[in-house]
Amino acid sequence: MDFNLSPLNKLVIKTAKAFCEREIPKIDAYMQEHKDYPPNLQEIFAKHKMLGMDVPKEHGGIGADNFNLILVAEEVGKTATTCMLPFFMNNSVAETICHWGTDEVIKKFVPPLCDGSAWASMAFTEPNTGSDPRALTLTAEPDGDDFILNGTKRFISMANKPGYGIFFAKDLSMKGKPFDTTAFVVDKMTPGITFSGHYELMGLDGADTCDVFFKDVRVPKANILGKQGKGFPILLRWIAGERVQQCAATIGGGQAALDESIKYGNQRVVGGFPMGYMQGFSWMLAEMKTKVEASRLMCYKTVKLQDEKVKGFEAASSELKVFTVPMIQEVCRQAVQFHGSYGYSKEYKVEKLFRNAMHAGVVASSLEINKTIAGMTILTQK
Amino acid sequence: MKIIVCIKQVPDVTEVKWDENGSLIRTGLPSIINPNDQNAIEAALVLKEEKGAEVTVISMGPPQVEEALREALAMGCDNAVLLTDRKFGGADCWATAYTLGLAVKKLGGCDLIFCGVEAMDGNTAQVGPEIADFLDLPLLSYAEDIKVGDGTVTIHQNLGDVTRVIEGPMPALVTCEKELNEPRIPRMDLVFSCFDKEIMVMGIDDLEGELANFGLKGSPTRLRKVFSPKRAKAQVEFLEGTPKESSQKLVEKLQEINAI
């Protein structure tokens, strides 16, 4: 077992860090002013070839493994920027289309997601379900060479940006069959699609999360991803990888919270000494560091399972979330506490890190559904 | 056009920590490409994009310098050469310039050599000019702007209060200032593909030089002592009054100690 990072891993981290230091402050400044992403955001990522990282080279990507991708995710997570969401989404949706799509679908949709001209979305959640395919109410009815989609999707990120989303619908042509969820690659600017305003979220400042309304929206049959009625496994595979990226970014946030606390503990003088050297505070730093370190090691192990295509990776990614998210949320809470009243102020980064960390427990699958996945796997595996 | 860029790997002093005696803690210090050398790489890559060029980056140092060379390849350089040999160790500016100069000759020469103005760990600003001297090339130093014409290179030379425009015939050596450009961040695809490239390694036997001119033996400079200067403690005095009054008091104070 080798815990050392390779020269490639180290250069990936160094490059990601340099990108974050140069580009993220400008992006965040725009988002603070406009409450939305810069229109050229994906072009910025594309210019640095950070899109299509896990897309095979033959489809225009870099062909990187997931381990290197999560090293980037951790660096981006340290900045507490919301623009990590579009970065993750374009990468993961392009990879998903490559995995499940026909040559025609791949050629049509993957290059724009890699060159930054299109924004990706993933849309399963509806007003009354976030994880149960039987409860879907977005319907898809065949009509000639098309399907007609009607219904509503909820909490969809980057939905109102031009590009492509994978939308999951109840396929009315599969009525009576055991599985009736079909995944469609949808051009989000298709006539009949409208959007709500942005949700005001607790964290992820400036995110464009909104509802998507379908009214007689025509989607070509050729845009079906995978097989009809077999859409749910596409979601499960995607979200297993998304959980790892989300955890890596959250761990990055935890590391940043720790770093901020170390800095504050050295700077703030109490009774003639730096505050951090008081036992109560040094113990807090010790607890924070061990939580971050344990989470990071578990994340690295999990992503190795993903890269080695080990059976059971999906359950392992749920276990990762079950462990990591409460750990890092606690680290961020401790960081706020460490800063005292300043930690509750928007002047200090830990306030934002704390709010961001809370998203990981409920977005891209809740902690509770992950406990169910992990627990049921333990009971049923032989 | 062939361009050779000479770079040095240096400790990242922005990450420097000091021990209780005020000494630099070198253990675990990350290494970077010397900042001015990053400007030199960027200048070469801009010319490559504008006019077409083959850019070769060379560096002398221990085997771990490969890390800096890989990063230069990830920025877009075409080839990398590592000059490494225990006998190169302890080289001062002259011996370093001698070694790099021989390597340039061994590589068949070039149209332009770019160096950083100076390394952030030594600040001598001598290696570039000494390479030019060794290779008998025109030296265009402290470049804030570079233009390549038909067989000539023109730079804006930073001379502090004034900028001088100078031109020289190629081949020539240019030393690059930080104001010249903003070095690019490596593209992520090149970060991956740079590890597929082979780095040419040259030792003392490959360079066909005088053995007595390499490394510590070949270095005229003798290091007598390294120390951290003592920090002088001084009293702080606040000069009260309006801005005009306090300015007047400040001038009087400075005149008292013959500072102005």
Longest Cα pair distance anywhere in chain B, in angstroms? Answer: 71
Q: Do B70 and A11 touch (CB under 8 A)?
A: yes
Phi and psi torsions of B232, nearest 5°: -75, 135
**Structurally, how many domains does chain A consist of?**
3
pLDDT given at position A2: 82
Which pLDDT band holds residue B122 (cuts at 50, 70, 90)? confident
Please return the burial class of A377, using the count of CB atoms within 10 Å of its CB with bins 0-12, 13-18 and 19+. Answer: middle
Structural contact between residues A237 and A257, judged by C-beta atoms closer than 8 angstroms: no
Interface test with A, best of B32, B82, B188 (most A CBs within 10 A): B188
Which residues have C-beta within 8 Å of that of residue A321, sequence separation ≥ 6?
Answer: A243, A246, A247, A360, A365, A367, A370
Please return the burial class of B115, using the count of CB atoms within 10 Å of its CB with bins 0-12, 13-18 and 19+. Answer: buried
Residue B69 has pLDDT above 70, yes or no: yes
pLDDT given at position B19: 67
Last residue of a domain, one of A173, A201, A230: A230
Q: What is the pLDDT of residues B81-99, one digit of tens each?
A: 999 999 999 899 999 999 9
Q: Do B187 and A22 touch (CB under 8 A)?
A: no
Nearest Cβ partner of B187 from A8, A48, A68?
Answer: A48
Interchain CB contact of A45 with B (< 8 Å): no
Q: What is the rounded CA–CA span in Å between residue A203 and residue A184?
A: 30
Q: Are residues A186 and A246 in the same domain?
A: no
Q: Do B192 and A10 touch (CB under 8 A)?
A: no
Does residue A28 lie within any of the structural domains? yes
Nearest Cβ partner of A15 from B66, B188, B195?
Answer: B188
Residue B123 has pLDDT above 80, yes or no: yes
Q: Which CATH number fits domain B2-213: 3.40.50.620, 1.20.210.10, 3.20.20.140, 3.40.50.1980?
A: 3.40.50.620
Rounded percentage of chain B residues whose pLDDT exceeds 70: 95
Residue A135 token pair? 């409860």
Interchain CB contact of A22 with B (< 8 Å): yes
Last residue of a domain, one of A230, A251, A282: A230
Last residue of a domain, one of A230, A259, A293: A230
Task: State the DSSP string of A27-92.
Answer: HHHHHHHHSS--TTHHHHHHHTT-SSTTS-GGGTS----HHHHHHHHHHHHHTT-TTHHHHHHHHH
Does residue A319 lie within any of the structural domains? yes
Q: Are residues A192 and A84 in the same domain?
A: no
Interchain CB contact of A25 with B (< 8 Å): no
Q: What is the rounded CA–CA span in Å between residue A291 and residue A312?
A: 25
- The residue count of chain A comes to 382
Q: Are residues A70 and A94 in the same domain?
A: yes
Q: What is the pLDDT of residues B202-212, one digit of tens each?
A: 999 999 899 99
Task: Tell me chain B's radius of gyration from C-alpha atoms.
Answer: 22
Residues of the domain holding A62: 7-117
Global pTM value: 0.90
- Please list every residue in chain B whose beta carbon sits closer than 8 Å to the beta carbon of residue A76: none
Ranges of each domain in chain B: 2-213
pLDDT given at position B121: 82
Q: Are residues A375 and A264 in the same domain?
A: yes
Q: Are residues A101 and A134 in the same domain?
A: no
Please compute the mean of the pLDDT values over residues B52-64 and round it to a whole number: 96
Q: What is the rounded CA–CA span in Å between residue B23 and residue B26?
A: 9
Q: Are residues A226 and A237 in the same domain?
A: no
Nearest Cβ partner of B67 from A7, A12, A19?
Answer: A7
Which pLDDT band holds residue B24 (cuts at 50, 70, 90)? low
Q: Are residues A97 and A167 in the same domain?
A: no
Residue carrying the six token digits 């130093």: B141
Does residue A2 lie within any of the structural domains? no
Structural contact between residues B144 and B162, judged by C-beta atoms closer than 8 angstroms: no
Q: Are residues A29 and A109 in the same domain?
A: yes
Q: Do B186 and A64 touch (CB under 8 A)?
A: no
Structural contact between residues A380 and A228, judged by C-beta atoms closer than 8 angstroms: no
**Residue-level pLDDT, tens digit, chain A, 382 residues:** 888 999 999 999 999 999 999 999 999 999 999 999 999 999 999 999 999 999 998 898 999 999 999 999 999 999 999 999 999 999 999 999 999 999 999 999 999 999 999 999 999 999 998 888 888 999 999 999 999 999 999 999 999 999 999 999 999 999 888 899 999 999 999 999 999 999 999 999 999 999 999 999 999 999 999 999 999 999 999 999 999 999 999 999 999 999 999 999 999 999 899 999 999 999 999 999 999 999 999 999 999 999 999 988 999 999 999 999 999 999 999 999 999 999 999 999 999 999 999 999 999 889 999 999 999 999 998 5
